[in-house]
Amino acid sequence: MASGKDSVFKTLFVAVAVCLVCSIVVSFAAVQLRPQQERNKLIDRQSNILAVAGFEVAGLNGADIADLYNKRIETRIVDLDSGEYTDAVEPASYDQRAASKNPEMSEALSGDEDIASIKRQADYAPVYAVKADDGSIRCYILPIHGYGLWSTLYGFIAIEPDAQTVYGLGFYDHAETPGLGGEVDNPKWKAQWPGKKLYNEQGELAIEVVKSGQVKDPEHQVDGLAGASLTTIGVSHLVRFWMSEAGFGPFLDKLKDS
């Protein structure tokens, strides 16, 4: 019969050996799968951009999405202060989310300016120009984000070349409650956005999302989500922030004049 000392040693030995083998397997899998994860992330981003631009992406495989994206989307970087295109960073590798956490690549927002509750604003943002069949620009897709009730919502708004008419809107990352704030993903709700105008006749920013059932100005107002007024207010604030001077306003002004 084994002594108590022997069995404790054996138990520890087996436990350590199992942990070691498992950690080697997990590390190996993580390293091996990283390129695939990066590829999947890129395809996911490309398909979200294509969807906001009105392309049917359901059922397309990764290669088809990449092909369509490369044919139809041109990415450029905009300096948000001036609204001008810049070559200061490389469009293919620029990560706006990471830049907004880096004090050297972003600015802190004061409480009054920060209606989207994002705390910091990256100096540069990507802009995706979407080409129609004939090569003309169908719309510009602008990345937007801001706080809802439980989470920061990340998405895109597509604006027509008149710099005034919304072409589409969609979020690709948030943690609002399914069935409540999560209804921002409902195609019926998103279908309200195309055709809305950003500015009123005086040139003031007029687009907003109002409490459910309270639309009085259908040209500029989007009906909010029933039972989810807090997410609704967050979406309204973040859209207004990104369409204002603090966001893409200078870029939209330049587009209007071009």
Ligand X SMILES: Cc1cc2nc3c(=O)[nH]c(=O)nc-3n(C[C@H](O)[C@H](O)[C@H](O)COP(=O)(O)O)c2cc1C
| 180: contact with ligand X by CB under 6 A | yes
Q: How far is the CB of 240 from ligand X (least distance, A)?
A: 17
3-state secondary structure 198-248: CECCCCCECCEEECCCCCCCCCCEEECCCCCHHHHHHHHHHHHHHHCCCCC
In this structure, are residues 163 and 252 in contact, taking their beta carbons and an 8 Å threshold? yes
| Interatomic CA distance for residues 22 and 8, integer angstroms | 21
Nearer to ligand X, 99 or 115 (CB): 115
Run of H or E including 131 = strand 124-131
Question: Applying CB under 6 A, which of residues 126, 170, 181, 250 lies at the interface with ligand X?
Answer: 181
| 228: contact with ligand X by CB under 6 A | yes
| Interatomic CA distance for residues 175 and 90, integer angstroms | 30
Per-residue binder mask for ligand X (CB under 6 A), 127-166, x = binder: ----------------------xx----------------
In this structure, are residues 255 and 174 in contact, taking their beta carbons and an 8 Å threshold? no
Non-local CB neighbours of 73 within 8 Å, separated by 6+ positions: 46, 49, 50, 53, 128, 129, 130, 131, 141
Q: How far is the CB of 146 from ligand X (least distance, A)?
A: 14
| 238: contact with ligand X by CB under 6 A | no
Name the residue number minimizing CB distance to ligand X. 181
Q: How far is the CB of 230 from ligand X (least distance, A)?
A: 3
Name the 3-class secondary structure at 132: coil
Q: How far is the CB of 101 from ligand X (least distance, A)?
A: 25
Question: Applying CB under 6 A, which of residues 231, 250, 251, 252 lies at the interface with ligand X?
Answer: 231
| 229: contact with ligand X by CB under 6 A | yes
Q: How far is the CB of 175 from ligand X (least distance, A)?
A: 9
Q: How far is the CB of 208 from ligand X (least distance, A)?
A: 16
Q: Which residues pair with 100 in a beta bridge?
A: none
Nearer to ligand X, 181 or 250 (CB): 181
Stretch that binds ligand X, among 3-11, 23-31, 32-40, 220-228 (CB under 6 A): 220-228
Structure tokens at 88: 């200061």
Q: Which residues bind ligand X (CB under 6 A)?
A: 149-150, 176-177, 180-181, 212, 226-231
